[in-house]
Amino acid sequence: MAELFIADGLDDEQIEYIENEYFAGFKRYSNHQSLPAKLEHYAALDEELRNVSSTTLCRELLREHSNNEGFTLKHFIDDIQTVYCADNRPWVIGYSGGKDSSAVVTLVYLALLALDESKRTKHVYVVASDTLVETPLVVDHVNKSLESIGNQARRDGLPISTHKVLPKPHQTFWSCLLGKGYPAPTKSFRWCTERMKIDPVSDFITDKVAKFDEVIVVLGSRSQESASRAQVIAKHKIENTRLARHTTLANAFIYTPIDTWSMDDVWKILRACSLEVTISPMGIGKKWANDYDLEWENPWGGKNLTLWNLYKDSSDQGECPMVIDDSTPSCGNSRFGCWTCTVVTKDRAMESLIQNGEEWMRPLLDFRNKLADTNIPENKSLYRNFKRRTGNVSYQRVKEGQELTTERDHIPGPYMLKFRKDG
């Protein structure tokens, strides 16, 4: 499909980058030619002379060098174009605003730009799920990105539209917490994910299935980022295709175009900056060129400096994925998630953002910590009713091997009305 890359929609810089830059392989590092000898030397050092964390990276790089020299970006755009042109099923791209989903939207946008207009025969829906309690900085970034993508797609004549889905009014965080008295979410009672994330996206996909019979859901899932998600997709993989069956929705199929990419690959397409592996007496590290003038613009305009700074200013834990079913990893340990999330012990993301100048977010952190305190066992009697919403009093079930007469812990009910009013 090389002839597709002379399309008028791509400028010279984009064409050169697509044809010459390597991803998902050793050659993505700008100094890859000189690295093997240095890595071999590092691997031969006495154990006490090595940096522990760098030893792991060294092994990964040596294995990567021997097994996979890498592919140019054109290889992945070819893949997207092939899957896109194979049938008439529309695409739904799950867009969270984070690095992985941004990389996927960038790839798809470039692939469509490089297609002849006559081959752009089916629609691509870029869908973001807003729980209404997302981190405000992320909400602002997603809103601006959706607007830019939609506007530029119309100017470029691409069949791309942007959409935001919301939880139903009676399923929002505040309706459940303040209205119904649901306790703040915990690992054992994560009532928020299905109501606020899975259901709105599922409803959107189901609507498109009803209209088009079948749809393909395009996700930024990567095997390196989430082993559990990779296993689920592999389990439902359709033989001899790039697609997998959706785990819960009939007539919906999953396509993961960057499933083999590393985090370095993702940032490379977003920043288009030089990435080098550095080897020093302190160990092995990776260094990005910090010259923002080197960065190319997104195909819809604007650079990813805002996104880069969001990651840089918050904790180094990943991002909140587009959740489409129960197998998708929770946002509990992620950087970009709900500011009200109490599944984790601490919200290191918000703490880091506040430390990096976003002091106006401190009241949000204080409120989140207040909610977390209500889940401490000794505090539950202070905030929650003795009875459940049904009027029943509940106790934990008898565990296997326990006597029926064994005393069991009481399960408190919803938050007291007084606490909900004061909260």
pLDDT digits (tens, 9 = 90+) for 270-288: 987 788 888 877 788 888 8
> Sign (positive/negative) of CA torsion 51, 56, 57, 59?
positive
What SS3 state is found at 306? helix
Distances (CA, A) of 213 to 90, 162, 199, 246, 402: 10, 21, 19, 14, 51
The reported pTM is 0.85
Q: What pLDDT does residue 334 have?
A: 42
Residue with tokens 């960065």: 295
d(CA 390, CA 180): 12
- Return the number of other C-beta atoms located less than 10 Å from residue 175's C-beta: 16
Distances (CA, A) of 332 to 95, 193, 338, 347, 371: 18, 10, 9, 9, 15
Question: How do the residues of the chain divide into helix, strand and coil, expressed in percent and rounded to 5?
Answer: 45, 10, 40
Q: What pLDDT does residue 265 have?
A: 92
- Return the number of other C-beta atoms located less than 10 Å from residue 48's C-beta: 5
d(CA 88, CA 214): 9
Strand pairing category for 243-245 and 252-255: antiparallel
Order of strands, sheet of 252-255, starting from the edge strand that comes earlier in the sequence: 160-165, 124-129, 91-94, 215-218, 252-255, 243-245
- pLDDT tens by residue, the chain, 423 residues: 445 545 567 888 888 888 888 999 999 898 999 999 998 888 888 877 788 888 888 888 888 888 778 899 999 999 999 999 999 999 999 999 889 999 999 999 999 999 988 899 999 999 999 999 998 988 999 999 999 999 999 999 999 999 999 999 999 999 999 999 999 999 888 999 899 989 999 999 999 999 999 999 999 988 877 666 667 777 778 877 889 888 888 899 999 999 999 888 998 899 877 888 888 777 888 888 766 666 778 899 888 888 887 887 765 444 444 444 444 443 434 456 789 999 888 888 888 888 888 899 999 999 999 999 999 988 888 888 877 777 777 766 767 766 666 666 767 888 989 888 886
Q: Which two tokens stand for residue 82?
A: 């092939």
Q: Which two tokens stand for residue 323?
A: 């959740």
Contacts for 140 with CB less than 8 Å, ≥ 6 apart = none
Q: What pLDDT does residue 317 have?
A: 44
Q: What pLDDT does residue 327 have?
A: 41
Residue type, position 23, single letter: F
Is-contact 331 133, C-beta < 8 A? no
Q: What is the 3-state secondary structure (H, E, C) of 353-370?
A: HHHCCCHHHHHHHHHHHH
Q: How many CA atoms lie within 13 A of 270 on its CB side?
A: 23
Q: Which helix (H) or strand (E) holds 93?
A: strand 91-94
d(CA 56, CA 38): 15
Q: Which two tokens stand for residue 178?
A: 């303040």
Distances (CA, A) of 149 to 11, 153, 256, 302: 18, 6, 20, 10
DSSP-H helix ranges across 7-134:
12-20, 35-43, 52-67, 73-85, 99-113
Residue type, position 183, single letter: P
